[in-house]
Amino acid sequence: MSARLAPNGAPVRADAVEIVTLGCRLNAAESDAMAAAARAANLTGAVIVNTCAVTAEAVRQARQTIRRARRDRPEAQIIVTGCAAQIDPDAFAAMPEVDRVLGNAEKLLAPTFADESERVRVSDIMAVREMAPHLARADDAGSSRTRAYVQVQNGCDHRCTFCVIPFGRGNARSAPAGAVIDQVRRLVEQGCPEIVLTGVDLTSWGADLPGAPQLGALVARILRHVPDLPRLRLSSLDVIEMDERLFRLCTEEERVAPHLHLSLQHGADLILKRMKRRHSRAEAIALCARLKRARPEIALGADLIAGFPTETDAHAQDQLTLVDEAQLSFLHVFPFSPRPHAPAAKMPQLPPARIKARAAALRAKGDEALARHLDAWVGKTATALVERPGFARLPDFTGVRADDLAGPFARLAFTGHDGADLIAEAA
């Protein structure tokens, strides 16, 4: 019996298959599919580590997780997959703790787990043209789940200079609308109240499909064909690729969550150019203002990078003022870290201490913005989706802490906040 304990506190059985998911919602969706593939292959006694490569810190955490898995389950097969394994399979194959290394395409196929003849099975991800078939297997979502991620797109055709993701996930490819709608319908029939559409470059959905439909068309079809879907949420969006129909649905359709997370990355035009981003500061601020005018209750979040190479004090100041001018409430701050294959790694780097200080300043700015957002909710009431005991989430993504929450939806009165989440009681 291993030293590891399951979420319910019981020792993990020696024949158990555990999946440890690092990184993004896409990895979370794929870990569900991997569980089904491993079951179909009758895989037993294994720990699968689904890695991320977005920052150097993410890769360090992957290695740490692998070592811990080996320590806790000395008898288990340790299988490493995900973007870090896809980008640098040899580095993981060289770890004595590792039994197998699988690519991002291979990890979703049951035969990969049935046939253990190859220790390293990682194909050229740039050669992958199809979305993996895992969308069809919707039976992973137990009715207990309050939110399910539906992957509608994978890969990316852009080459932002700081980003390694295309090298882990390949070029952009879309799931057919019919398969997405079937998956959403099955999840809703299983009682799932919230669906999150996810992808690497979500707004490029459809570009590779007949007639090149846009994401707005997909959202419209989902809402039409799944009338019982209570709430649809979108994961990160590229501001410059938001089509007009999507804009209207996000601002006029009650069932579309009033929350958008935008891939803004920076607030200075020169840095945006050096990042090879496709929008300007003014375009980002204008879109946020349009969204807020059309739907005042919409909450906006953004990914922002601190300390990009050649960033001056003035650029860093542009980054801070962007938070207010774009009316952002939720920030994901990434301290710049040079990535293999990404051109920014060859640009003149800032000293690590300055990157750290700029990230801290940006996070502090984010805390201020979030506190302002939470203050505006205090004294009001609203209905939140209960995610787990003591925690719920509003449609605009605001977190709520409350005792004795009865789900799936709870009507709550907000009495205060702790800087991160609202504090509430039953209304």
Distance of closest approach, residue 204 Cβ to ligand SF4, in angstroms: 8
> Which residues, including other chains, have CB under 8 Å from residue 281's CB and lie 6 or more apart?
267, 268, 269, 272, 318, 322
Q: How far apart are CA 129 and CA 126, in angstroms?
A: 8
Site residues for ligand SF4, 223-282, by CB under 6 A, read 263
Q: Is 26 in the site for ligand SF4 (CB under 6 A)?
A: no
Q: How far apart are CA 420 and CA 129, in angstroms?
A: 41
Stretch that binds ligand SF4, among 43-51, 118-126, 160-168, 391-399 (CB under 6 A): 160-168
Count the site residues for ligand SF4 by CB under 6 A. 10
Q: How far apart are CA 143 and CA 121, in angstroms?
A: 34
Binding mask 180-209 for ligand SF4 (x = CB under 6 A): --------------------xx--------
- Looking at residue 2, its amino acid is S
Binding mask 111-150 for ligand SF4 (x = CB under 6 A): ----------------------------------------
Distance of closest approach, residue 399 Cβ to ligand SF4, in angstroms: 25
The only residue of 13, 71, 119, 159 in contact with ligand SF4, by rule CB under 6 A: 159
Which residue in this structure is represented by tokens 């709550």?
A: 412
Distance of closest approach, residue 394 Cβ to ligand SF4, in angstroms: 27
Distance of closest approach, residue 239 Cβ to ligand SF4, in angstroms: 11
Q: Is 156 in the site for ligand SF4 (CB under 6 A)?
A: yes
The only residue of 19, 165, 175, 331 in contact with ligand SF4, by rule CB under 6 A: 165
Q: 134 φ, ψ to 5°?
A: -65, -10
- Write out the two tokens for 400: 């709520």
The only residue of 160, 246, 369, 385 in contact with ligand SF4, by rule CB under 6 A: 160
- Say if residues 274 and 349 touch (Cβ distance below 8 Å): no
- Say if residues 169 and 154 touch (Cβ distance below 8 Å): yes
Our CB check for ligand SF4 shows the closer of 39 and 158 to be: 158
Closest CA to 327 of 356, 369, 361, 357: 369
Distance of closest approach, residue 59 Cβ to ligand SF4, in angstroms: 16
Stretch that binds ligand SF4, among 16-24, 65-73, 94-102, 154-162 (CB under 6 A): 154-162
Other Cβ atoms closer than 10 A to 236: 21
Round the CA-based radius of gyration of the chain to a whole number and report it. Answer: 22
Closest CA to 81 of 99, 56, 55, 57: 99
Residues forming the site for ligand SF4 (CB under 6 A): 156, 158-160, 163, 165-166, 200-201, 263
